Structure 1
Amino acid sequence: MDSTQQFWEDFYRDKDQVWSGNANPLLVREVAELAPGTALDLGCGEGGDAIWLAQQGWRVTAVDISDTALKRAAGHAAEAGVDGIVWERHDLAKSFPEGRFDLVSAQFFHSPVAEDGERDKALRRATEAVAPGGTLVVAGHAGWPTWMDEPPHEHVHFPTPAEVLEALALADGEWTVDVQEVITRDFPGPEGQRGTRSDNVLRVRRSV
């Protein structure tokens, strides 16, 4: 097990549950009106997005680097009575799921241990996995919460939607940008502090 996988194994093993179990609101907003087909969930974590997609009728391939996260996600899917999800372990810097998909989702695809360029490389590979007529949705934080005086990680750069779009290096004439925006929402702190946090969302569609 290399250091990147070890980091994420420890990240999930430290708590019985890390995430809420709910689907990311930005994914729900961008995907709710799409016709279900095949979906690829990159960095699926404990499976909240993948389970929601399957409940909407999508046939999902859900990917994470952590075996612990994948086992936990599969357990949550079983508890919810959800099938139609294939769970695969991949370090996306080294391997990628096979096939093409009607939807590829990369939600909050951040990593404090990724090497320079790894995220962009994985997202460019994600574009190759989008089937003709399919959609890629990339969401990520635009900065730290406003109430946070001392960020937990120094020198972190949060890419803007324009920077993400540039990094994707989409071929001219083959893609349409449907959504490219920054969304600010109320985000209280753990001790009830009032504040907000901004997130980026980019949704692009491959031409038929």
Structure 2
Amino acid sequence: MTETPAAGLLAPHAPAPGDAYVGDPAVRAEWDRRYADRQQLWSGRPNGALVAEVAGLTPGRALDVGCGEGADAVWLARGGWDVTALEVSGVALERAAGHARDAGAAVRWVHAGLAEAALPPGSFDLVSAQYPALLRTPDAAAERALLAAVAPGGVLLLVHHAGMENQPAREGDVDPADYVWPSMVAELLDGAWDVELDEQRPRIAPDGGAGAHHTADVVLRARRLS
């Protein structure tokens, strides 16, 4: 069977041209602005929860959702994973591709929103979403796209900042009610899934980078049975 390629799919190491993007242009513009405002937005090191939870897994096909500047994707690739990394910001993907080149790591880059990416269903042994900014929709499109990407026997690892979903919107800041949180994904898990972990715990935070002030994580790890 021939798989349909993901929308916005780029060759390993390729930078992300603006016209390859598939998704909401306003979302891309917002995240491009955030990345362009700083020479480096994140720490440049892989997220601690990812490192801890992937330690016992056999490398296979991995999807990094919201890959940012590429630290997680590069770390996975250097650990033997066949990595596809998805991101809405072309600015971030340019940086991520550069980091991958410097590290000698092969990564497939997808310049798209998760719901719009048309990823082949059931294709990834690991779907990692570390603090993703996934917009909430009435049809739960992002949540369902996360679940659909996981292959039978594969693992969904979703990590987010604890307590954020219940915070009120602050003037000039994002409204937590607009975004997908782990509890919303957990609600969709049925008998086809084994929830291996669903807990709050202290964050293993890389030094520096945006978000370093968050000290606790919610970690959801679920294995697809069928």
Using the size of structure 2 for normalisation, the TM-score is 0.75
Instruction: Please state if 1:90 is matched with 2:112.
Output: yes
Match of 2:25 in 1: 2
Number of matched residues? 190
Distance of 2:149 and 2:204 partners within structure 1: 34
Deviates further, 35-44 or 150-159: 150-159
Do residues 165 (structure 1) and 186 (structure 2) align?
Answer: yes
Change (3 A) 1:77 1:119: farther
In the aligned structure 2, how far is the partner of 1:159 from the partner of 1:125?
12
Going from structure 1 to structure 2, the CA distance change for 1:160 and 1:123 (only over 3 Å counts) comes to: closer
Structure 1: gaps of 5 or more residues: 145-149
- Please tell me whether residue 198 in structure 1 is matched to residue 200 in structure 2: no
What is the CA deviation profile of residues 11-66 of structure 1, one whole-angstrom value per residue up to 9, with x for unaligned ones?
11111111111111011111111000000011000001100101110000000011
Alpha-carbon distance in 2 for matches of 1:55, 1:94: 28
Matched, 1:153 2:173: yes
- 8 A Cα contact 1:140 1:201, kept in partner: yes
Provide closer, same or farther for how the CA distance between residues 94 and 102 of structure 1 changes in structure 2, counting only shifts above 3 A.
Answer: same
Residues of 1 paired with 2:54 and 2:222: CA distance? 12
Displacement of 1:118: 7.3
CA RMSD of aligned residues (A): 2.6
Counterpart CA distance in 2 for 1:29 and 1:82 is: 21
| Residue 23 to residue 96, structure 1, CA distance change in 2 (3 Å) | farther
Match of 1:180 in 2: 198
Pair 1:22-2:50 in alignment: no
Q: C-alpha distance in 2, partners of 1:14/1:132?
A: 40
Q: Tell me the secondary structure at the aligned position of residue 124 of structure 1.
A: helix
Contact persistence 1:39–1:59 (CA under 8 A): yes
- Give the alignment's TM-score, normalised by structure 1: 0.81
CA–CA distance in 2 between the matches of 1:73 and 1:119? 31
**CA contact under 8 A between 1:135 and 1:203: conserved in structure 2?**
yes
Shift of 1:91: 1.7
CA deviations on 1:111-165 (whole Å, 9 max, x unpaired) are 5xx3x42794212111111111100000001136xxxxx8963752587754430
- Tell me, which stretches of 5 or more residues in structure 2 are unaligned? 1-23, 165-169
Q: Distance in 2 between matches of 1:42 and 1:154?
A: 19
Distance 1:135-1:7 versus aligned 2 partners, 3 A rule? same
